[in-house]
Chains A and B, each alone.
Chain A
Amino acid sequence: MISFQAVGKRYPGGFDALKNITFSIERGEMVFIAGHSGAGKSTLLKLVAAIERPTSGSILVRDQNLGRMKRSAVPYLRRNFGLVFQDHKLLFNRTVFENVFLPLQIGAFDPREAGSRVRAALDKVGLLGREHAYPVELSGGEQQRLCIARAIVNRPAILIADEPTGNLDAEYSGIIMDMFKSFNQVGVTLLVSTHDEAMLRKLRPRVITLHQGELAP
């Protein structure tokens, strides 16, 4: 599903965020990227989602080489992903419903079915009653769940989450991890970055650990 072959990413200025990374992830796997902040976790996820491009090596996602991909093809690749951002990236001038509706609008989804898809996604994250609220009225944990609802409304093959429990207390983190586990059980490939050791001990998933831009043994 996802495979990295000797991937490196050097930012302008000469800083090597990732060096010689090789791994592969099969369909339906749940993989956590662990490491301290600054270890290159976010960069790795950005490379998978084609938000950044590698400076060396090759990345294959669903048999497409991201380094050689035309810029005009990137949007269609991204529609295979559900992205959960650390800073949520919600639109504060739109309601909860409209935020979740956005990916369907972009994917030219049949408008007659879109409403029920949005409500189904909101139901899964427990926000069904808040459709007409604005993000600013939601708590931090609810905002994170809204971001997850937006990521899954398209029924993506791959869910990518950058520090989804970063700013949340243990109870909320638990709720969100349970959600991720249930998505994985219905076949969604999961790629999650975290520095939450307790979470890793509890879930015991496959873990890729980064240390200063390199794979830790």
Chain B
Amino acid sequence: MNAIIISALLGVVMMFSSILIQNRYAIRNIAVVGLLILLLGNLLNTYTVYSFDIDTHNMLRFDKFGLFFNSIAIAATLLYVILSGSDIVKVGNYPAEYFALIFFSLCGITILSSYNTLLMLFLGVEIMSIPLYILTGSDKKNLKSNEASLKYFLMGAFSTGIMLMGIALLYGASGNFNLEYNHAASNGNAYNYGILAPLGLLMIFISMAFKVSAAPFHFWTPDVYDGAPSVFTSFMATIVKAAGFIAFIKLFGIRIADLGPSSIIILPAIIIATLLVGNITAVFQQSVKRMLAYSSIAQAGFMLFALYGNNDLSAEGILLYATAYSIATIGIFAILIKMKDYTFDGYNGLAKKQPILAATNTVFLLSLAGIPLTAGFFAKYYMLASALKTYGHGALWLVIVAVLFAAVSVYYYFRVIQAMYFKEGEAETSEISSNFKAILVVLAALIILIGINPSLLLTWFYF
């Protein structure tokens, strides 16, 4: 509860701070302090009894899983703002508003991690998404940004429509919005209401697949990620995406079986389609930013394994994946923003000019590729393990397909490493502060620490 209330309040605070404060960097510092308060509030909620006590009539439920994810999301946002804050304030004329929108989006995320009825799911998704439509278009004079924003908004509205329709159908089938009650009612006789319940669930499934950009509902992703200002792409591709997955898993972890017998085919099909589209298309990109957009689709394919496995390993795994993926991607985007040229060739020779940037970027890319000793390895490991644990021999083929696609992903991630280290060139960057480098090193160290021992992170989950 703390996180929801504080993040909403902080959003308002940030809005008003623009009236009182003119200094852009002061506004960024306020946001950092705000995020620290938010993190503290959420930790208090997780590990102590100090929390707002509001009766939500069981519409929200705060469990360890959701609260722990909140901490991850808030901490990742904190790192993101510390790292890229100075670039956020440079996007346009309204720096305070950008931070306000980020806080509102976080509010939506915290609702998504704790919703207990479909109504709250809908509210969470909308509160999370609407600020993003604005952020995408925040580079007002750039046509691509405008196009991306409009596209995102139209597609988002469309998928929301589908979700509402699905929720309505489910309501029609069971008479209420409750997640668990529905489940109990459908126990053994899921088809009492004919096609209504499975169809409703399928519609929600589709709209959630849209939010996490799973194929074949991914078409908005490359254009939106490419068109949006890079700093905000970073936020969308990491924290928001992870939140989408948490919401996905919270619902379908319970309800996947109600989709009917076809559920056992739908998920593997979507996983393979997502891995295929993301990985193969990323291979052909010339711009690192666009490559990252497709790679985020490919990573979503791996995260879907959590839904497929649907056991204790997948719960731990998705938290680990969210952390590993967010940290690495935030780092890569932070470096990308500093580059003058977003193509692969723009990175040529970066290792000579900026050795620390190149080295940390390498760690992040290795992590995304899932090389051992980085957090990304264990993230993928947990995903594959959860599938094998549930289905045993039956999932082996899917695991093999997935690792082959992981090998494909090495191709495009390593192209950046090759450009930085092995090719000659004059990679041009904007000015880089030593603070920025220090934080990058901290992020890389985190990745390696989790890569050596993921329990460092997961013990907090069970603490």
Question: Are A and B subunits of one complex?
Answer: no
